[in-house]
């Protein structure tokens, strides 16, 4: 009899420890899921991720303190897991719906009262509602963290109740299971959850909470009250979880339609980033406009991408002495590559971190809706399938070392990276990075860098030029042009010796390849800036590796623009 009791106690205790590890796994996934999703919709990636994680950690501590107020640990635990599963499953959908609604509400009011587009109501209560909607990720992070924080104290009390006495090593056992479970959760997030839709990831995680609560309910039902209602709660929540898993992606897409203000026609999550295509129908027999977003930020619009890419590529290529061997860093959409191939190079090497992005633009017919795939193939001119193109899927910061070891030399280097909106991108705008590129560039070659907006992020723009110059480039200049989808945009161009790019281009009467937009006169004017633009240049700092200086300049500019936007 005593042996049976010991065995039962061992089974119960092992089950509790397993449940604790499972809940820790769920807790960490919720933490990553919410911070990842919030960063995507709020935009300020690094700040939002750290803020969400910090809020959840603090609120978990508060939840641990509050757990002592729960009189019945058994009953409280089952109810707690129901609530955690419900919030964890539905949080991202709720956030997306409220933010999307807040974005479209001014338009709905304007349509109801037949107001013109330039008189959209955005102040007063609407502004407050919009502000509140943007705080929802932080609110959910606090609530979810608070509830998760109650789990460990409740499990600890339950173990002591089962044993019937105080356990000397109770905390160590519980925390051991918690740490191991959290580690497993991190691995699941990186290896699996990042590759599926965010709503499916939330539903699967909530399922673990639900199963843990249900197993606990069945095993320890003698300690519980109102079991019938608890079972009904589990059943209803199971239906919700299945619905979110099955239809959450479509719901999310409909809410993203509101968030992006255009119809979302394709979205996917790669291990590196979230990719979204939107479509805007113009009517009147005009072609629709397709926009491409990475992590919620516009990368190009089919309406005017030719302006950006022609200004990125052709001034550098026209001013270079040769065009035989070209290096493109970034540019995984193949549009800069399209322009480079017009110069009939012998070889082009393109370095981009995300193989899924490149695959999407190389073979759009395999993933995209037919009408979108046709448009993308036309935009890229099938550039990735050119036999002269070699794609390297690697971190450019590491990949260029391999090119140096191979003693590669390039006639032009085109850098088409996203803005330095994340510390991981900041290193690709550093003196260290440009100095190594200097050694990859032919003596009479030209390097050009996408340099964000000289109007919206002036300090960041100037810092890029100073950083390139600090990397031992002799001639460094900047130019700009209005790209309607982006506003005023700019580039930095550099050479190692001889005349500057603007001087070289001044000698040319025409561009040597066919273009849609750019002309010699447009290029000439692009090198001129407004009065006083560089007056504070001496105060702008160079972006050294590890300083995050450029990231900070860009972040402050982004925050300022967000505050000023209606």
- The one-character DSSP state at 29 is H
Determine contact, residues 299/277, Cβ cutoff 8 Å.
Answer: no
> Shortest CA distance to 418 belongs to which of 293, 313, 301, 545?
293
Q: Output the CA–CA distances (angstroms, integers) from residue 153 to 60, 180, 209, in the order listed.
A: 11, 17, 17
The CA distance from 531 to 539, in Å, is 17
Q: Is 416 a catalytic residue?
A: yes
Determine contact, residues 21/180, Cβ cutoff 8 Å.
Answer: yes
| CA angle (236 as vertex; 235, 238 as ends), nearest 5 | 65
- Kindly name the residue from 262, 333, 411, 416 that is annotated as catalytic: 416
Tokens 């017009």 map to which residue?
A: 342
> Shortest CA distance to 482 belongs to which of 311, 282, 290, 335?
311
Q: Per 3-state DSSP, what percentage of the chain is helix, strand, and coil (rounded to 5)?
A: 60, 15, 25
What residues have CB less than 8 Å from 110, skipping those under 6 apart?
A: 116, 117, 119, 120, 121
The CA distance from 157 to 166, in Å, is 9
Per-position b or e across 186-207, b if 16+ CB within 10 A of its CB: eebbeeebbeebbbbbbbbbbb
Q: Strands 441-450 and 410-416, how do they pair?
A: parallel
Residue 506, SS3?
helix
Beta bridge partners of 128: none
Determine contact, residues 477/491, Cβ cutoff 8 Å.
Answer: no
Provide the CB-side half-sphere exposure for 539 (13 A, CA): 7
Question: C-alpha dihedral over 427, 432, 435, 440, to 10 degrees?
Answer: -60
Question: C-alpha dihedral over 377, 380, 382, 384, to 10 degrees?
Answer: -130
Structure tokens belonging to residue 310: 């022609």
Could you list the active site residues? 416
């Amino acid at each position: 009899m005593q042996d049976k009791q010991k065995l039962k106690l061992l089974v119960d205790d092992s089950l509790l420890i397993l449940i604790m590890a499972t809940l820790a796994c769920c807790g960490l996934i919720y933490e990553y899921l919410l911070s990842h999703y919030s960063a995507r919709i709020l935009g300020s990636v690094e700040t939002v991720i750290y803020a969400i994680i910090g809020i959840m950690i603090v609120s978990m501590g508060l939840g641990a303190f509050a757990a002592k107020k729960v009189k019945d640990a058994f009953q409280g635990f089952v109810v707690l897991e129901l609530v955690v599963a419900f919030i964890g499953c539905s949080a991202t959908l709720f956030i997306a719906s409220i933010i999307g609604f807040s974005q479209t509400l001014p338009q709905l009011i304007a349509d109801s009262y037949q107001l013109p587009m330039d008189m959209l109501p955005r102040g007063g209560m609407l502004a407050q509602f919009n502000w509140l909607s943007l705080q929802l990720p932080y609110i959910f992070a606090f609530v979810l963290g608070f509830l998760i924080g109650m789990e460990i104290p409740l499990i600890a009390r339950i173990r002591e109740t089962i044993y019937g006495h105080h356990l000397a090593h109770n905390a160590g056992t519980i925390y051991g299971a918690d740490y191991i479970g959290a580690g497993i959760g991190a691995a699941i997030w990186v290896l699996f959850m990042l590759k599926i839709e965010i709503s499916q990831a939330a539903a699967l995680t909530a399922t673990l909470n639900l199963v843990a609560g249900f197993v606990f309910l069945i095993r320890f039902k003698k300690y519980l009250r109102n079991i019938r209602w608890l079972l009904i709660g589990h059943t209803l929540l199971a239906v919700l979880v299945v619905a979110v898993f099955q239809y959450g992606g479509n719901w999310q897409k409909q809410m993203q339609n509101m968030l992006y203000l255009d119809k979302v026609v394709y979205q996917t999550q790669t291990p590196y980033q979230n990719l979204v295509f939107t479509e805007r129908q113009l009517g009147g027999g005009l072609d629709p406009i397709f926009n491409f977003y990475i992590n919620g930020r516009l990368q190009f619009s089919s309406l005017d991408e030719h302006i950006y890419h022609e200004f990125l590529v052709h001034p550098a290529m026209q001013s270079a002495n040769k065009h035989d061997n070209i290096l493109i860093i970034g540019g995984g959409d193949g549009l800069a590559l399209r322009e480079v191939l017009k110069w009939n190079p012998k070889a082009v090497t393109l370095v981009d971190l995300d193989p899924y992005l490149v695959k999407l633009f190389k073979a759009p017919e395999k993933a995209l809706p037919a009408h979108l795939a046709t448009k993308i193939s036309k935009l890229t001119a099938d550039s990735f399938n050119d036999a002269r193109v070699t794609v390297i899927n690697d971190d450019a910061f590491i990949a260029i070392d391999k090119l140096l070891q191979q003693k590669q030399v390039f006639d032009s280097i085109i850098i088409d990276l996203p803005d330095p909106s994340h510390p991981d991108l900041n290193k690709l705008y550093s003196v260290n990075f440009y100095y190594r590129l200097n050694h990859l560039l032919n003596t009479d070659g030209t390097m050009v860098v996408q340099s964000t907006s000289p109007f919206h992020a002036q300090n960041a723009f100037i810092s890029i030029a100073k950083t390139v110059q600090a990397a031992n480039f002799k001639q460094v200049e900047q130019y700009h042009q209005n790209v309607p989808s982006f506003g005023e945009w700019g580039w930095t161009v550099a050479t190692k010796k001889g005349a500057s790019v603007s001087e070289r281009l001044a000698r040319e009467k025409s561009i040597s390849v066919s273009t849609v937009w750019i002309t010699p006169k447009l290029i000439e004017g692009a090198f001129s800036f407004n009065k006083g633009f560089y007056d504070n240049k001496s105060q702008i700092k160079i972006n050294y590796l590890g300083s995050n200086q450029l990231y900070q300049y860009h972040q402050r500019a982004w925050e300022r623009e967000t505050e000023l936007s209606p």
